[in-house]
Structure 1
Amino acid sequence: MKKIFAGIAVAGLMVATHAFANDAAELSDVEIAHVAYTADNLDIRYAHLALAKSSNPEVHKFANTMIRDHEAVNEQALALLAKLGAQAEDNFLSQKLNEDGEAIIKKLSALDGAEFDEAYAENELAYHQAVNNLVANVFIPNIEIAEVKALFEQGLVIFKAHEGHAEMMVKALNK
């Protein structure tokens, strides 16, 4: 069951990021900012769900890290947009992320115990891999405003570390 769930979650995100990669390269900086803000908020929602459903201390520790780090990056992004006098703009990719995120939350919500923990960890790994790939290979090369690009480069370092932590969590839970 968990492998099927993970495959579905990964497939949805991968389709969203790969199928739209060329179109994503055409997004403006403020549209890219909205995609990142959406991705951060989804991961925060996944983390809150993990805190509510899991009794595993390692899952709780990881989820709390996700909340802390993603909220901090979102605060920095909102402050930068305010400084630039800009507002993030909703777009096809942020809408697709929200749609897929709702499906993932629904699937995760139906799981309990170790099955939930493993599915959450696998989703976190796949999610960070997909989003980090999109940020590194599509967004950063196409961001025009230097301050926005610098924030994304800084965030990518943090989220690559999340990817590594998620990978370790997947391995530990699948023993």
Structure 2
Amino acid sequence: MRRFAIALLAGSLVPIAAFAQSASGPASPAREQPEELVELDYEQFTHKAASGNLAEVAMGELAQEKGSRPEVKEFGQRMIEDHSRANEALTAMAEKKGIKTPTEPGPEERETIQRLSALNGEEFDRQYARLMVEDHRKDVAMYRAMADSSEDADLKKYATDTLPVLQEHLTLAESMAQEMAVMPEEASGQSR
């Protein structure tokens, strides 16, 4: 199986891991971590993408429940809808190739979801907005690399079709984070 070289930040869950270490501490911008080359094959990409979709849905549900700002609740609803749809398409594509996708977020993502669930109101809003910026920046990079380099027609189409949605999510998350003054400095105005 061909491996796809994807330039990702060290540790694919840097934003989530940073939040897991300190939910109320200052934002730990993912760009401070050195970049490393991570190679993902078809199965690894589908596993990582499905786990990410499931985490976005779970955090979107938390935003509906715990968010205090209308834009946080609206963004959460959008995450539920778009990432559910993306995961359905991904799962169907993977099943055609005999690949089983995860049915729940990974351990680090579950820990982040648990920590986020302990927050309420404005603190929830700020942490959720920051996480969404950091996570969608990572997702855009991963999907762009797969859309550009995949030789598998189905995977290339999935990544190409999903990328504009993720880019829109990033733009919306950056706007939401800027309104709350929680925008990671280097992310400001750098939507891709």
TM-score using structure 2 length: 0.71
Change (3 A) 1:2 1:169: farther
CA contact (8 A) 2:23 2:116 kept: no
Alignment partner, residue 135 of structure 2 = 127
Map 1:1-175 to 2 at 5 A.
4=25, 6-7=27-28, 11=30, 18=35, 21-22=37-38, 25=39, 27-82=40-95, 84-88=96-100, 98-137=106-145, 139-174=146-181
Higher helix share: 1
Could you tell me whether the CA contact under 8 Å between 1:2 and 1:115 is conserved in 2?
Answer: no
AA matched with 1:86: G
Does the 8 Å CA contact 2:130/2:177 hold for their aligned counterparts? Answer: yes
Q: How far did residue 103 of structure 1 move?
A: 2.7
RMSD: 2.9
1:57-101 CA distance string (max 9 Å, x none): 11111000001000111111122233x3421467xxxx9x72321
Q: TM-score, normalised by structure 1?
A: 0.78
Deviation beyond 6 Å, 4+ runs, structure 1: none
> Runs of 5+ in structure 1 lacking a partner?
none
Structure 2: give runs of 5+ residues left out of the alignment. Answer: 1-21, 183-192
Indicate the larger mover: 124-133 or 51-60. 51-60
Assess if the C-alpha contact under 8 Å between 1:51 and 1:63 holds in 2: yes
Equivalents in 2 of 1:106, 1:31: separation in Å? 25
Q: CA deviation at 1:5?
A: 5.4
Cα deviation for residue 141 of structure 1 reads 4.2
Between 1 and 2, higher relative CO (CA 8 Å, sep ≥ 6) is seen in 1
What CA distance in whole angstroms lies between the structure 1 residues aligned with 2:155 and 2:110?
28
Shift of 1:119: 0.8
Aligned residues: 160
Deviations 1:141-172 (A, max 9, x none): 44331121111111111101000000011112
